[in-house]
Chain A
């Protein structure tokens, strides 16, 4: 009988891996978590207190790669198309943090659910030329109880009454929302006057003490920072829950180099990893869980040559096409106070008559944008970069048109899955461990571009209604042919999805409906690599909900169920 080091070895400690660790350890299983980055988050000894390294420090977090992969160690490369050559850019590309907690605790924790139609977009609205839209192998109704469980584990604060487009819910949010930011009070009122539907954003930051963690005190260092006072729940809460069982071991600065299969090639035996001295180790396990994110998970599969029989690994890579509509107000908004974003609106996700007409004019069956985040600019070093040098600089910093007087909408536009948008292994550029860097090949589909071009002026009009004296808009990545292409080609979105989609047909998908690798079923993917479509919503809550579902199946636990309230 084979002895294993643990029941499951989990690659990555972000929301995807941490959630699986919580579910499996609660079910009595043992896990070893491998994290390539360092631990800046919490003590690994009881009571697993915060480390004290997470701070309100713009230089440390936004300028010096304290959490993000340092491009000197982990460069990534980017090109728009294969025709552009081996690469057009080398450096930071779509970098989620590396380190214990992964891509989760750095974020401002906006945690919306998807809508019912997001799970069967192809059946509902049909195909679009050039895109490989697919239905998900499950429906919202099946995922609803897992969404509710995810909100409970993380501690999501929200208001179930505010969003007319929201999917049905079996219960209330665990907490009421926090304080409305002044900038959102201003832009939210303007949006309502123009017929839109802003609502209080579901947010993974405590408004009251929850699960032993304190209420958020509105410090404003949310997006791209961790929380110094432990008021954000994701993925701190599940990591701590797993550690408390005594059945979770975490090894940081441990880079998983390869998934190891047995002689049959149909069962994984575990993984190999390297420590920072370059020494190779192996962990054996009954199951291998991939939670390294939709960039690193496909890269690991490609490096290991596992699961790629159909040449689909790395393909259908999706971000959100981000459209920024900015309004410069004749008054200060103090966007540095509060939870970075406190209001969203879903209107661009549900096409109205104007959006339908724009789609028709462009020869598309529909256009779907994404959630619109009502935000403002927070931090002054970034402002300084955009305030030109010389006497103009100091005067602009005093008046602050690029920060304190600036309101901003970010639309996270749905990005259609394309076979040609992909991650593969760069033929030349390497990382600090000596492995090929991940390379992104990516151009947005016409649908994404048309949706952005349609919504940008409509969002600027909201800014004008709110009192803006000047408005402008931009996108990330820059639209093809736009001036922005000379500035920065790469998508700045940290919402990375696809790359190893799930589905029922092993010839058209990489993972099955339980997120098991079709070819090697004891390899499970718990991150957003499996998303068949990107939707227009932030991915994290759905990652966590899916991870709970996949982990319960792995542990042999019965499915969760919920009841749709009458009239919902």
Chain B
């Protein structure tokens, strides 16, 4: 079950992300990478406490140490103000309207996914790609989130089982192991 979106919205989101980052030989597509899970997790970040904004630390546990990334960081008062505004929008709340109203990600996705059309799931991938890119409000947001969901730390909900990193020969977070001097200097 998606956390913020409806099942129907989630299905459209998954298809849109797959059109942006499709599977090719050797590289999983956005669906297999869990990119839509990442986005849905961001939209519902405040449904958990601490909210799913800043992963903890100092290590993930993938190269030693305790899995600290999984314990998210408590937000400061101002961080919460900024991130609730960014995700939920200013919603007429005066303290969120420092320089005027802000449209939040939740609204951008709700409107943007609906505007992709009732037939979006039946469209060919190139038509899906065309429609997503044509939406000048949705596209910059979803495209940034696709990159984060495909190649960011998996604790945020995407990059499932680090498949994104493995595909591109990238080890991800490496502490506390680090790299040896030879690994740094040799081809």
A residues near B, CB below 8 A? 38, 50, 52-60, 63-66, 70, 72-73, 75, 90, 178-182, 185, 216-221, 228-229, 253, 276-277, 331-332, 334, 336-338, 380-385, 389-391, 393-395, 397-398, 400, 403-404, 428-432
Q: Are A337 and B102 in contact (CB under 8 A)?
A: no
Task: Kindly identify which residue among B22, B152, B187 contacts A58, using a CB–CB cutoff of 8 Å.
Answer: B152
**A219-B173, A380-B170, A393-B22 given. 14 additional CB < 8 A pairs?**
A59-B148, A63-B152, A64-B53, A65-B82, A72-B86, A72-B98, A75-B98, A182-B185, A218-B181, A221-B175, A385-B144, A395-B24, A397-B151, A398-B167
- The answer on a CB contact under 8 Å between B170 and A336 is yes
Residue pair A381, B152 in contact (C-beta under 8 Å): yes
A181 close to B185 (CB less than 8 A): yes
Judge whether A394 and B29 touch: CB under 8 Å. yes
Is B136's CB within 8 Å of the partner chain A?
no
A66 with B185, Cβ < 8 A, contacts A38-B76, A253-B78 known = no
Pick from A185, A334, A336, A394: contact of B23, CB under 8 Å: A394
Q: Which residues of B contact A72 (CB under 8 A)?
A: 81-82, 85-86, 98, 102
- List, in ascending order, chain B residues with CB within 8 A of A253's CB: 76-78
B81 near A73: Cβ-Cβ < 8 Å: yes
- Cβ of B44 within 8 Å of any chain A Cβ, yes or no, is no
Task: Establish whether residues B168 and A432, one from each chain, have CB atoms under 8 Å apart when the complex forms.
Answer: no
Nearest chain A CB to B20 CB, angstrom units: 4
Determine whether the beta carbon of A398 is less than 8 Å from that of B55: no
A interface majority secondary structure: loop
Contacts of B133 in A (CB 8 A): 389
Binding site for A on B (CB under 8 A): 19-24, 26-27, 29, 53-60, 68-69, 73, 76-79, 81-82, 85-86, 98-99, 102, 125-126, 129, 132-133, 143-144, 146-148, 150-153, 156, 164-165, 167-181, 183-187
Bound CA–CA A276/B26 (angstroms): 49
Contact of A53 among B53, B57, B169 (CB under 8 A): B57
Residues on the A chain within 8 Å of B132, using CB? 389
Contact A56 B172 (CB under 8 A): yes
Chain A: CB-nearest residue to B77: A276
The answer on a CB contact under 8 Å between B167 and A217 is: no
Of the residues A60, A179, A393, contact of B55 by C-beta under 8 Å: A60
Contact of A393 among B20, B79, B185 (CB under 8 A): B20
**How far does the Cβ of A449 sit from chain B's closest Cβ, in whole Å?**
30
- Minimum CB distance partner of B183 in chain A: A337
Q: From A179, A228, A390, A397, give the contact of B167 (CB < 8 A).
A: A397
